Amino acid sequence: MLAQSFPNSHFVGLDIDQCNVDWAYKDVATLGLKNLEYVCADASAMPNDWTSTFDYVFFFNLLHDTPRPDLIIDDVKRVMKKDGIMSVIELYAESKHADNLGDPNASFNYTDSLFYCLRCPTTILAPWL
Ligand SMILES: C[S@@+](CC[C@H](N)C(=O)[O-])C[C@H]1O[C@@H](n2cnc3c(N)ncnc32)[C@H](O)[C@@H]1O
């Protein structure tokens, strides 16, 4: 959607799971987008030649699924230009575990994140994707 909305900008989508990258590329082919590429990489160890490259970094529903989000933020600081902007959209949850009691989404999200997302890439647990 971003690549469609901002045709004069170039977008790089990143995921650690090659299966997700392959799946995402189907959209590029279907929509005929020329300003979008996907890369399979660990967001805490992005390519060396990306240093000071990006104007904008956007996390969508990712940081909560990583065991060391602090390392990812460190590497994002490296790949962003000095005046770059980062924005993050994540699932909503209370910081104190007890404050999530009574919210059915919270228990689902916690379980899903702990036993599915944090454990291994989609390729292993959901090979149909
Ligand atoms: C909840 S999914 C969200 C995927 C996509 N952003 C979306 O909203 O459809 C979290 C994603 O984070 C990816 N991921 C987990 N750790 C990562 C890392 N260290 N670097 C890059 N991607 C990672 C997983 O492979 C997974 O696709």
Our answer on whether the CB atom of 46 is closer than 6 Å to any ligand 1 atom is no
Work out the number of other CB atoms within 10 angstroms of the CB of residue 34. 10
> Tell me: the pLDDT tens digits for 82-114?
999 999 999 888 888 899 888 988 888 888 888
Domain ranges of the chain: 2-125
Q: Whose CA is nearest to atom 9 of ligand 1?
A: 61
First to last CA, the chain: 21
Which is more confidently placed, 6 or 110?
Answer: 6
Q: Is 12 close to ligand 1, i.e. is its CB under 6 Å away?
A: no
Q: Enter the DSSP assignment of 64.
A: G
Cβ neighbours of residue 99 closer than 8 Å, sequence gap 6 or more: none
pLDDT in tens, 18-40: 888 998 988 788 989 999 999 99
CA distances from 3 to 10, 27, 31, 41, 73 (A): 7, 11, 10, 20, 23
* pLDDT tens digits, one per residue of 40-75: 999 999 999 999 999 999 999 888 888 889 999 999
Q: Which one of 3.30.365.10, 3.60.21.10, 3.40.50.150, 3.40.50.2300 gives the CATH number of domain 2-125? A: 3.40.50.150
Report the predicted TM-score, pTM, of the whole model to 2 decimal places: 0.84
